[in-house]
Amino acid sequence: MSTTIVHLVRHGEVHNPDRILYGRIPGYHLSTRGHQMAARTAESFRGHDVTFLAASPLQRVQETAQPIAKVTGLDVVTDKTLIESGNRFEGLHVKGLRSALWNPTRWPLLKNPLQPSWGEPFTEIADRMMNAVERARVAAEGHEAILVSHQLPIVMVQRTAMGLKLPHAPWNRECDLASVTSLLFKGDELTDIFYSSPAHEI
């Protein structure tokens, strides 16, 4: 029975001086620190048996994937299903005294945090991400695959793999910038999940 590992890498720190929720807005690139994070995480894969590499189409993720491509010698496959979750608060400040969430006109979007009512449903995120994981497992069967994506989509994979409910408190997430969530498969059966943060010191 073959053993396959699918690694999910979160992108590095983003240059976001206006501190908005950028979501799927194009053009948001890594900060200098973010590039350092990406390079450190890429180095953690040196010597690994990686045969498949895919990434979300958004710029910050493509930039995170590039040093991984150099270390592994692989081309980056752009996979739209690895994209950030949809969110109707994109482009707005959502934290602190300037938060757009203080505006009563937006309160109807907050009516159901278990769905969530302000964006792409958790179930849809989990479904598309688990499908991407399965495609990667098949593509790299007997070896390792890397999928570079975003925090919430990766958290949906984590919670699905651990049999947890998808709705959760954001402050309880374990998915740091440039972190790695690794899924271990025996044949087509998911048998274990591991987490590491190679860039935590940066």
Q: What local confidence, expressed as pLDDT, does residue 190 receive?
A: 98
Q: What local confidence, expressed as pLDDT, does residue 45 receive?
A: 98
Q: What local confidence, expressed as pLDDT, does residue 98 receive?
A: 78
Q: Which run of H or E residues covers position 131?
A: helix 122-139
Percent of the chain with pLDDT over 70: 100
Q: What local confidence, expressed as pLDDT, does residue 94 receive?
A: 81
Backbone φ and ψ for 186, nearest 5 degrees, come out as -110, 110
Burial call 93-106: b when 16+ CB within 10 Å, e when fewer:
bbeeeeeeeeeeeb
d(CA 139, CA 150): 21
Other CB atoms within a 10 A radius of the CB of residue 50 amount to 20
Q: What local confidence, expressed as pLDDT, does residue 102 receive?
A: 84
CB 44 within 8 A of CB 131: no
Coil, helix or strand at residue 157: helix
| Residues 6+ away with beta carbon under 8 Å from 137 | 4, 6, 145, 185, 188
pLDDT digits 0-9 by tens, 56-100: 999 999 999 999 999 999 999 999 999 999 998 888 888 887 787
Q: Which residue ranges in the chain fall short of pLDDT 70?
A: none
| Residues 6+ away with beta carbon under 8 Å from 144 | 4, 5, 6, 7, 48, 49, 50, 51, 52
CB 43 within 8 A of CB 71: yes
* 170, burial (CB in 10 Å: exposed 0-12, middle 13-18, buried 19+): exposed
Q: Which run of H or E residues covers position 135?
A: helix 122-139
Residue 32: closest CA among 16, 18, 43: 16
DSSP output for 34-91: HHHHHHHHHHTTTT--EEEEEE-SSHHHHHHHHHHHHHHT-PPEE-GGGSPPPBTTTT
Q: What local confidence, expressed as pLDDT, does residue 104 receive?
A: 84
CB 147 within 8 A of CB 133: yes
Q: What local confidence, expressed as pLDDT, does residue 103 receive?
A: 82
Ordered structural domains, the chain, with CATH: 3-85+120-196 (3.40.50.1240)
